[in-house]
Amino acid sequence: MNIALIAHDRMKEDLITFVTAYRNIFAEHTLFATGTTGLKIHEATKLKIHRFQSGPLGGDQEIGALVARNEMDMVFFFRDPLTAQPHEPDITALVRLCDVYAVPLATNMGTAEMLIHGLKRGDLNWRNIIRRKNGEKNE
């Protein structure tokens, strides 16, 4: 499955800790991330990660484009709800696209725990059906 990893500055360490804890699960999938987040996760875990631009420079939109094409299966976006973000419209658009295309989205550690355990159990294999239906390769 294709999995996106995004975190606001104050949440990056939480996401790195999360991915490190579940490294064996993430290693079985294709990972994408916004710029600095992807670099920091790679440095901590040595996982292969395709990096886009940073969020404010368009990385959120690049991931959103994959969601809109049903090429992204899951998004872990650890948001900082207490800090205003200059690119808030891009963030809102990405969240909206996840809703429109029924792409599972975790914006906090609690939801991320549920998604990662579901991924491990195979609860999200329905995404493979959607991808095959749309002519995508099965990952």
Strand, coil or helix: what is 30? strand
Contact 45, 20 (CB under 8 A): yes
Q: Distance (Å, rounded) from C-alpha 62 to C-alpha 76?
A: 15
Q: Residue type for 117, please?
A: H
CA atoms within a 13 Å half-sphere pointing along the CA-CB vector of 84:
1
* Helix 109-121 vs helix 12-21: crossing angle, to nearest 10: 20
Q: Which of 60, 80, 90, 123 is catalytic?
A: 60
Active site residue 123: no
Q: Residue type for 11, please?
A: M
Catalytic center residues: 60
